[in-house]
Amino acid sequence: MIRKDRQVMPKDKFIVREKKSPSKLVPIVKHVAEVSQDLDRKYDFEYVTGDGMTRKETGYLKNPESENPIQVVRGSYSYTGRDGKVYTVEYIADEKGFRPIGGHLPAALQG
pLDDT score of 77: 96
Taking a C-beta distance cutoff of 8 angstroms, is the pair 55, 33 a contact? Answer: no
Alpha helices in the chain (DSSP H): none
**Which is nearest to 94 in space by CA: 60, 55, 64?**
60
Mean pLDDT of the chain, nearest integer? 83
The pLDDT of residue 18 is 53
- The answer to whether the beta carbons of residues 62 and 72 sit under 8 Å apart is yes
Write out pLDDT tens, residues 95-107.
999 999 998 888 8
Residues 40-91 pLDDT 10s: 999 999 999 999 999 999 999 999 999 999 999 999 999 999 999 999 999 9
Q: Measured between alpha carbons, how far is 26 from 49 in angstroms, rounded to an integer?
A: 7
To the question of pTM greater than 0.85 for the whole model, the response is no
